[in-house]
Amino acid sequence: MKTLMKVVFLCCLFATTLSMNAQYVGYSDPDEKSIFFGVKSGINISDYHGVSTDKSRVGFNLGITVDFKVATNWYVLTGLEYTVKGAKSKGYIEQDAPDGHKYNLRTKDNLNYLQLPLQAGYKFNLSDDVRLMVHAGGYMAYGVGGKATYDYEAIDGGTSWTDKIDFFGVGVGKFDYGVIGGVGVEYHKFVLDVSYELGLREYAKDHYNESKNKNLAITLGYKF
């Protein structure tokens, strides 16, 4: 918790610094806004890379956004979001079950993060009402909860059962970071955005495998 509070403090300090700096960037209109707050929500289509999985997992995301205008058409994009990632496996034959039976094992990982993106964005004015923004940068995230579900389906006379464990309680690191990029379309105050996240941290390197997160996020937002 102390580490999380330090991360939040540094993020707030960074946002405050950007806000102050933005006030001194030369704009043609001194009354033009340089800070834009917003909210967003959408779906995630997540999986792992570095390890083979059979099926992506559909989750969701929601959060607040803060855009800092630092030059003509150039922005720094950040905010804070709650995002649900993970992956699924369709199943495989478990040969070494303790009771001697064989089972079809299906798994589902449900990973909940508080995530802080930090990106640079450039806006293209397509018309008076429509703008296109391309953006790229990085993110860092902290796991605030998660479950791993194991469904054992008996295929030769055994008894089926389900196990659920704390995903972050079995040697899996809570911190994650990676790169992110995407494109968004703004219409008045509404924003439709598609972004792709590629994790760079092996969150279970010393316990399971070399898994890293990857995620496609589709969101709808509103700027105040």
- Residue 224 exposure: Cα atoms within 13 Å on the Cβ side: 8
Which single residue is written with the structure tokens 């993020």?
11
What does the alpha-carbon distance between residue 136 and residue 67 come to, in Å, rounded to a whole number?
13
Instruction: Show the domains of the chain with their CATH numbers.
Output: 2-223 (2.40.160.20)
**pTM exceeds 0.75 for this model:** yes
pLDDT of residue 50: 73
pLDDT of residue 101: 77
What does the alpha-carbon distance between residue 10 and residue 137 come to, in Å, rounded to a whole number?
18
**pLDDT band (50, 70, 90) for residue 88:** confident
pLDDT of residue 120: 97
pLDDT digits (tens, 9 = 90+) for 92-108: 666 667 777 788 888 88
Q: Which neighbouring-strand residues pair with 136?
A: 120, 181
**pLDDT band (50, 70, 90) for residue 26:** very low
- Which helix (H) or strand (E) segment holds residue 183: the answer is strand 175-187
In this structure, which amino acid lies at residue 113?
A: Y
Model confidence at 130: pLDDT above 50: yes
**pLDDT band (50, 70, 90) for residue 24:** very low
Which single residue is written with the structure tokens 């508080």?
114
What average pLDDT does the segment 187-191 reach?
A: 95
34 Cβ contact list (under 8 Å, min separation 6): 19, 22, 23, 25, 27, 68, 69, 70
What does the alpha-carbon distance between residue 119 and residue 184 come to, in Å, rounded to a whole number?
13
Give percent of the chain with pLDDT exceeding 90.
51
